[in-house]
Amino acid sequence: MKIGILTSGGDCPGLNAVIRAIVLKGTSVYSQQFVGFRDGWRGLVEGDVIPLDRHRVRGLAKQGGTILGTSRFGPYEGPSGGPENIQKTLDRLGVDAVIAIGGEGTQAASKRLADAGIKIIGVPKTIDNDLGATDYTFGFDTAVEIATEAIDRLRTTGDSHKRCMVLEVMGRHVGWIALHSGMAGGAHAILIPEQPVSIDQIVTWVESVRDRGRAPLLVVAEGFTLDTMDEAYSTKGLDGFNRPRLGGIAEILAPMIEQRTGIESRATVLGHIQRGGVPTAYDRVLATRLGLAAIDTVLAERWGNMVALRGTEVQVVGLDEALGELKTVPQHRYDEAAILFG
């Protein structure tokens, strides 16, 4: 069999470790051949491939990014998109099956293609850790490590200047990175999209920290919005037309806190630093185990499935399971962190 691998959506530390594990086991145990599609679905739709063998994947477990490239291009885009055209392209390339490594959008597209007869299986990926069918995704642990180190560093400079430091981390829809890094770093408040919190509550937390003679440190997920967002935006001079679509919330909060408390405040947006560089050992191991399970799943011809971490075991689940609700931070996890706020 010749198997094609693609990485799609935002990149994530651990992608190369998945590719390495698939190719190493697929060649040494199963004697299969491999190609990589360049830049996610675009490479599949346009038939743009690179050869993959055990020499090409050597040493990749620790390398960040993806050697295949990635994009947000979808498999139904362009004149060559859609299952019929994709099957023709696969036939022309002699590719029998596809392993698609990606987040929710990728798994949704894989499901549609599998339903249309394409031999495809999924590997979950997102630093946000919001995919429902799997307990953890690789990349998340690395992002939390990076965010925690940022908190530790912000704390010393914040303490020196007696400033309120507001750190914005990734998390478009969910607050897992904010919750875990905030707990690990001992943040005085954690603000996440799942939990509405008023500016008055934030001010209360900040002032109680200040009253104990400490410098307040807040972690906010990029998808967090205040219940009084209009006030927040008007403080920044933004109206309905020039508001940021996403992110920048730390830069809105810091001046509001300064205005209301009189505490000098600074915002830091960590951004894509959370997605770059070497994966942690945990993420390398998780990515490797998912890659090994993915090639087993292909050889078992279990199309339309995804490999997933359930508890401590890697299992095979239906792609449709990955497409339910996003995995949000449950109330009790937020509450246990919130006991320590202020």
Q: Which residues belong to the annotated binding site for substrate? A: 126-128, 163, 170-172, 222, 266, 272-275
How many C-alpha atoms does 254 have within 13 Å on its Cβ side? 19
Dist CA 158 CA 267 (whole Å): 11
Say whether residue 127 binds ligand F6P (CB under 6 A).
yes
Shortest Cβ 337–ligand F6P spacing (Å): 19
Residues 203-222 vs ligand F6P: string with x where CB under 6 A? Answer: -------------------x
> Is 253 within 8 Å of 202 (Cβ atoms)?
yes
Within 7-46, the residues that bind ligand F6P by CB under 6 A are 10
Say whether residue 171 binds ligand F6P (CB under 6 A).
yes
The correct pick among 112, 172, 260, 333 for binding ligand F6P (CB under 6 A) is 172
Q: CB nearest ligand F6P: which residue?
A: 170
Residue 319 DSSP class: G
- Selecting among 11, 39, 128, 283, the annotated active-site residue is 128
Within 101-120, the residues that bind ligand F6P by CB under 6 A are 103
Specify the residue, 273 or 338, whose C-beta has the smaller distance to ligand F6P: 273
Shortest Cβ 174–ligand F6P spacing (Å): 9
The correct pick among 39, 128, 194, 207 for binding ligand F6P (CB under 6 A) is 128
Dist CA 233 CA 210 (whole Å): 25
Determine the interface stretch with ligand F6P among 82-90, 121-129, 211-219, 259-267 (rule: CB under 6 A).
121-129
Using CB under 6 A as the binding criterion, the count of chain residues that bind ligand F6P stands at: 10
Residue type present at position 4: G
Q: What is the DSSP string of 214-267?
A: ---EEEEETT---TTHHHHHHHTT--TTT--SS--HHHHHHHHHHHHH---EEE
Which pair of structure tokens corresponds to residue 237?
């001079």
How many C-alpha atoms does 164 have within 13 Å on its Cβ side? 32
Dist CA 303 CA 205 (whole Å): 51
Say whether residue 192 binds ligand F6P (CB under 6 A).
no
Determine whether 230 is an active site residue. no
Say whether residue 126 binds ligand F6P (CB under 6 A).
yes
Which pair of structure tokens corresponds to residue 199?
């500016």
Which pair of structure tokens corresponds to residue 223?
């998808």
Say whether residue 292 binds ligand F6P (CB under 6 A).
no
Shortest Cβ 173–ligand F6P spacing (Å): 8
The correct pick among 98, 151, 170, 322 for binding ligand F6P (CB under 6 A) is 170
Say whether residue 168 binds ligand F6P (CB under 6 A).
no
Specify the residue, 148 or 297, whose C-beta has the smaller distance to ligand F6P: 148
Which residue's structure tokens are 């005085």? Answer: 188
> Is 81 within 8 Å of 73 (Cβ atoms)?
no
Give the residue numbers of the binding site: 10, 72-73, 103-106, 126-128, 163, 170-172, 222, 266, 272-275
Dist CA 340 CA 198 (whole Å): 18
> Is 289 within 8 Å of 137 (Cβ atoms)?
no
Closest CA to 73 of 5, 9, 12: 9
Which residue's structure tokens are 């430091």? Answer: 165
Determine the interface stretch with ligand F6P among 14-22, 50-58, 126-134, 298-306 (rule: CB under 6 A).
126-134
Catalytic residue positions?
Answer: 128
- Residues at the contact surface with ligand F6P, assessed by CB under 6 A: 10, 103, 126-128, 170-172, 222, 275
